[in-house]
A and B are shown apart, each in its own frame.
Chain A
Amino acid sequence: MTPPKHRFQTRTAGTPAQTAAGFEWSTDRRRLRLTGHWTTAALDGISAAAAGSGQTAEPVDVDGSSLTALDTAGALLLYRLIERLKGDGREARLSGFDDRHLALLGLVRERLAAQADSLAALELPRRAAGLERLGRDAWEWVLQGFSMLSFGGETSLAFLRSLLRPARLRWRQILLVVEQDGVRAVPVLGMLSFLLGVVIAYQSGVQLRVYGGNLYVVDLVTITVLRELGPLMTAIVVAGRSGSAYAAQIGTMQVTEEVDALRSIGVSPIDLLVLPKISGLVVALPLLTVFADMAAVAGGMVMSALMLDVSPDTFMRRIPEAVSINSLMTGVAKAPVFAAAIASVGCYHGFKVRGGADSVGRHTTTSVVQAIVMVIVLDAAFSVVYSWMGI
């Protein structure tokens, strides 16, 4: 045989024991000899070498006698190679192939031919871009607004219904929520609030010392904590801790069709899953807020004693002069509203879950982000309302 001129051999891939797939043209380009393992793991690079077949229009002898193995991926490439030769006007004559290899090639040809039309018609899914994407996203937002509104309406109706028949409220579930999302949040919230008080006292102390107004640290700490930071901090911690849990729990139940199972038994998922969470959190969050207020003031007190020589005793005596009960109440009054917002956003996103695990994750993230955004927006709204009312 004439020495092969255009020789192509891929580098060895996969296990070393396998010889990589390759092929060789004879010098006159009438003969194409296939070599090695034409298997998925050994095919690397062979497609790029399907190379030109020269200028002649004569038939090609495709010699498969040196082919050591062929799998469906290899058969597909061989099929594409033959198609390519055909496209160049050269007929491929197969010779020396193993019967099983021929059968495999036949199978590939038959399967591709059977669906040739739909394969040709198939196009890649289009990804929206630019203006279209903007429009779609905006529309998506509008729709989400509507569906949140309708979820809120549905929940309110269910709540009113249950107010008429309080015995039907699920008290055990509510207490469970109070325990899990209230009592269990005490340690982490206590620590964070204490540190928050320390930081506020420290930062204001640095300024106050300059003017010798050390005692006013009490005013600064108590007013910022009771009116603003206490409720806000509590709401943010709870949104991260419980709002996400609600979304994940309901979302998983949605995936496993438990929500549908509830509906089919005649239990409204809103009654069973949403109302107890909202009610429980509405009870728990104000309590947590009071606790966070105390922890933060304690933190401020410790820092004042260490840095500003304001003894705890002086600190305590100053508190009634610095703040009125109104400051505490305006802060605590925000908590139930925050609680309702956090719980409904969490539950809403739980019910929005479709499909599988990735959807649960996406909606959990969204629920936390939206809950925190809502809490801050609501807080701003409270500030406006309070200043309007002159509190």
Chain B
Amino acid sequence: MNRGEILALVGASGSGKSVLLREMILLARPTAGQVRLFGEDAVDLDESTANRLRRRIGIMFQHGALFNSLTALENIAVPMKEQTDLPDAVIRDIAMLKLLLAGLPADAAHKYPRQLSGGMHKRAALARALAMDPDLLVLDEPGTGLDPIGADALDDLILDLHRSLDLTVVMTTHDLDTLWRVSDRVAFLAERRILATATMGELSASDDPAIAAFFQGPRARAARSLTWNRG
């Protein structure tokens, strides 16, 4: 993928999106093939090299994966506490900024994950992913479990952050609205491989039966017209 773009991975459930994503972020070993990260071959790395690469990646897990015993602010501070020698006051200051960047209100800072609503939970997870100012932001199903307003707001936020922080983003999603609005390019997974990588416009015009089934169903048409109407 290219620097600074938003690439979406799509495919039916079980087509291997999450596995591919896990291999990309060095959490799972590929059984075959290779992974290249930031121009380096990323298979069979020793632990310290792998960790160095991982630091340049911010990950937002599908269910947030916030640490339950820590407040939102403490959650965001974890990567900085572990990976830098910055004084605590500075880390708190930076963590608070990330919280605001992720669109959370300031008073969410000292709440525990269980006290946050679904949308706020996702935003806190996003803020933690952004904690180290990663070069690559990985989002696993960012809109899942959110109402349409929340999902739209999250899409806006991702676009906003992508623009202002110069991020490269990889995301998996089922959400066709998100695909149309956010992604620069889309990689379509099926039959255990990437069938095509193209822009949404090109993909939705594809005559491959698997891709067509995904992008030309009734929901897809609705999502597309909606985007066009929005201009």
Counting CB contacts under 8 A, is B114 at the interface? yes
Taking a contact as CB atoms under 8 Å apart, the answer to whether B132 and A41 are in contact is yes
| Given A40-B84, A41-B84, A44-B85; A77-B166 close (CB under 8 Å) | no
Contacting A at CB under 8 A, from B151-171, are: 164-166
- The answer, among A80, A104, A359, for a CB contact under 8 Å with B93, is A80
Most B CB contacts (10 A, CB to CB) among A100, A115, A359 go to A115
Q: Given contacts A71-B133, A104-B165, are A41 and B83 in contact (CB under 8 A)? A: yes
The count of chain A contact residues (Cβ–Cβ below 8 Å) is 37
**Beta-carbon nearest neighbor of A41 in chain B:** B84
Q: Roughly how many angstroms separate A176 CA and B101 CA in the complex, as a whole number?
A: 53
Query: Is residue A72 within 8 Å, beta carbon to beta carbon, of the partner chain?
Result: yes
Among B105-113, B192-200, B206-214, the stretch that binds chain A is: B105-113
A44 lies within 8 A of B100 (CB)? no
Check B68 against A355 for contact (C-beta < 8 Å). Answer: yes
Which of the 9-residue segments A58-66, A87-95, A117-125, A186-194 touches chain B? A117-125
Q: Is B231 an interface residue (CB 8 A)?
A: no
Chain A residues with CB under 8 Å of B87's CB are 47-48
Chain B residues near A103 (CB, 8 Å)? 164
Asked whether, in the complex, the Cβ of A358 is within 8 Å of the Cβ of B94, the reply is no
Q: Which of B110, B114, B165 contacts A355 (CB 8 A)?
A: B114
CA distance A72 to B113 in the complex (A): 24
Once the chains bind, are B105 and A100 in contact (CB under 8 Å)?
no
What is the bound-complex CA distance between A119 and B97, given in angstroms?
A: 10
Interface residues in B123-173 (C-beta closer than 8 Å to A): 130-133, 164-166
Chain B 95-107 against A: per-residue CB contact (8 Å), 1 yes, 0 no? 0111011000111
Interface on chain A toward B: helix, strand, loop, or mixed SS? Answer: helix
Q: Kindly state the interface size class of chain B when it binds its partner.
A: 35 or more
**Are A104 and B86 in touch, CB under 8 angstroms?**
no
Of all chain A residues, the one with the shortest Cβ separation from B55 is A41
**Residue B10, interface by CB 8 Å:** no
Assess whether B230 is interfacial by the CB under 8 Å rule: no
> Given A13-B84, A40-B133, A112-B97 in contact, is the A125-B110 Cβ separation under 8 Å?
yes
| Pair A122/B107 contact, Cβ less than 8 Å | yes
CB contact list, A93-116 vs B, under 8 A: 100, 103-104, 107-108, 111-112, 114-115
- Which chain A residues numbered 20 to 49 have a C-beta less than 8 Å away from chain B? 39-41, 43-45, 47-48
Which residues of chain B are within 8 angstroms of A354 by Cβ–Cβ distance? 114
A15 within 8 A of B: yes
A73 at the interface (CB under 8 A from B): yes
Q: List 26 A–B pairs whose Cβ atoms lie within 8 Å, in order of A's numbering.
A: A13-B84, A13-B85, A14-B84, A40-B94, A43-B86, A44-B86, A47-B87, A48-B87, A72-B97, A73-B97, A76-B93, A100-B166, A103-B164, A104-B165, A108-B97, A111-B100, A111-B101, A112-B100, A114-B100, A119-B106, A122-B110, A355-B68, A356-B68, A356-B114, A357-B68, A358-B68
What is B's interface to A at a CB cutoff of 8 Å?
52, 55, 68-69, 71, 80, 83-87, 89-90, 93-94, 96-98, 100-101, 105-107, 109-110, 112-114, 130-133, 164-166
- Contacts A44-B85, A118-B107 known; 10 new A-B pairs at CB < 8 A: A41-B83, A41-B84, A45-B85, A73-B133, A80-B93, A108-B97, A354-B114, A355-B113, A356-B113, A358-B69
